[in-house]
Chains A and B, each alone.
Chain A
Amino acid sequence: MKAAVKGLAFEYSAALLEYLGGGGEAALLRAYQLGRAALAEGLGVLELAALHQETLVTVLLRMLAPDESGRIAERASEFFAESLAPFEMTHRGFQEANAILRNINRELEQRVQRILTDYETARTQLAEQRRIERLKNDFISIVSHELRTPLTSIHGALGLVNAGVLARGLSPQVSQLLDVAYRNSQRLVRLVDDILDLQKIESGAMAFHLHPLEMRPLLAQAIEANHAYANGLGVRLELLEAPTETRVYADPDRLMQVMTNLLSNAAKFSPPGETVSVQWSRRAGMVRVSVTDRGPGISEEFKERIFQRFAQADASSTREKGGTGLGLSITKAIVERLGGTIGFEARPDVGTTFYFELPEWREKVQRRGGRT
């Protein structure tokens, strides 16, 4: 007990004694004021009750005859002890509840601190990831642009010689070597273009100009555009007619890029003399375009990583087929950016169908009079 409280308690006890000894209202008022002051200074309720007990017992002892005083004082003390027991238990209960609450509070503070620390860590990691992503994109962009300048000279010079513009009458070996160099410079150009395309898609820099597109003319145009390439491989491209008018909401150039990739892949992996067929269908609000070849199918092992970058069935495939290993991952990224999905079904020695699905475009023409 603090000294100030102790002093007030002592004075309060004396004032009570004075009142009980016949001190009148003045003593009662003083006792009341001292009691309030002691409580305000922090005197506990149980301590106050103990003071009352002590004062009453003292008064009783003073009033009683000496032979009775011991017994009465003992009974009075027992009575007060009994009366105070529930308060003591409640007080102890409060103390225990207080301790529990303090623990809960401490735990909550620790949890909040952990959450704040985790949040800060995640924020730092995210900022770092974004910084690395930006650095990567800048690096790819710069490297690709820097590669384009020497490639322009190499590809251009070889293209001119190979076209027979300047040097006619070259020996077959020299012509063959020039052809090798020219084809590989073309491959390098395609690789740089594909790397840039992928970087543009990933960084969100690739622009998509979306329009409602009629499927039939677009697919016919894609076949026309890839006809010469397939023809060079001895493969025919055909468009199977579908009866209904079907439209999608897409970027025509990007959709043409998707079709070119699927058609050129199908032609590359088809045996000479075979046909690659393109068809489209509508199902549950989606338009599915399928490109089917009669090639060797796709191995189980390769199926899992077919859409990954630089994922070709084997290294010789890159050499033989002249791909960059990025075409399908670009195609997948474009289809997904158009709100669609891409997949394939392959049967060994029967052929492979690559398909993509895009949401069907249905124009709602609201006219006056409620007609639609």
Chain B
Amino acid sequence: MERTLERILLVEDDPDIQIVASLALSQFGGFTVQVSGSAGEALRAAPAFAPDLILLDVMMPGMDGPSTLQALREIPAVTATPVIFMTAKILPQEVAQYRELGSLGVIAKPFDPTTLAERVRELWREHHD
């Protein structure tokens, strides 16, 4: 049975961006959002929260986005959960690299908060079509 997009795990170390992104996703998209401030927090929260989608920051202190994605793939509850990277590093070769890692796509920072939820839905639909 095809899953619907309701629960999003937001992994982002910047507290201000956490607030903006989670509000934008919940207010404009009606999603249930759980925020993790680091890779470690995300790895601990993922099994219980069982997200439909993970929004993952690329540049984080300690374990970065790509390494976090690898570690998440080891957890049975989220081994196949779609991931979208959010990043300020958007050179063409960087974007290509994120796609090669198995993400649905990349959302560039700064994002438009009024269209963030719609952009997430678009990438989700592209993945499921």
Contacts and interface: CB of A to CB of B under 8 A. Distances in A.
A159 B20 CA distance: 9
Given A145-B88, A153-B20, 18 more contacts: A148-B110, A149-B88, A152-B17, A152-B109, A155-B113, A156-B111, A156-B113, A159-B24, A159-B112, A160-B23, A160-B24, A160-B113, A160-B114, A163-B114, A196-B90, A200-B92, A205-B91, A206-B92
B16 A157 contact: yes
A196 B21 CA distance: 23
Nearest 7 A/B pairs, CB to CB:
A156-B20, A148-B88, A153-B16, A152-B110, A207-B92, A159-B113, A152-B109
Given A148-B109, A165-B28, A157 B20 contact: yes
A32 B118 CA distance: 111
Contacts of A157: 16, 19-20, 113
B93 interface: yes
A155 B109 CA distance: 10
A205 B114 contact: no
Interface in A320-359: none
A333 to B, nearest CB: 16
B89 interface: yes
Looking at A150, A160, A196, A200, the one whose CB has the most chain B CB atoms below 10 A away is A160
A145 B89 contact: yes
A200 B88 contact: no
Interface residues of B, number: 22
A1 interface: no
B113 A163 contact: yes
19 contacts: A141-B91, A148-B109, A148-B110, A149-B14, A149-B109, A152-B88, A152-B109, A153-B20, A156-B21, A156-B113, A157-B20, A159-B24, A159-B113, A159-B114, A160-B20, A160-B23, A166-B23, A200-B92, A205-B91
Interface in B31-68: none
A165 B27 contact: yes
Given A160-B20, A165-B28, A155 B92 contact: no
B23 A165 contact: yes
A160 B92 contact: no
B94 to A, nearest CB: 10
B17 A156 contact: yes
A189 interface: yes
Contacts of A205: 91-93
A295 to B, nearest CB: 29
A371 to B, nearest CB: 40
A157 B111 CA distance: 11
A151 interface: yes
A157 B20 CA distance: 6
B75 to A, nearest CB: 28
Nearest to B114: A163
A196 B109 CA distance: 13
A163 B109 CA distance: 19
Contacts of A165: 23, 27-28
Interface string A156-193: 11011001011000000000000000000000010000
Contacts of A153: 14, 16-17, 19-20
Contact of A149 (B17, B91, B112): B17
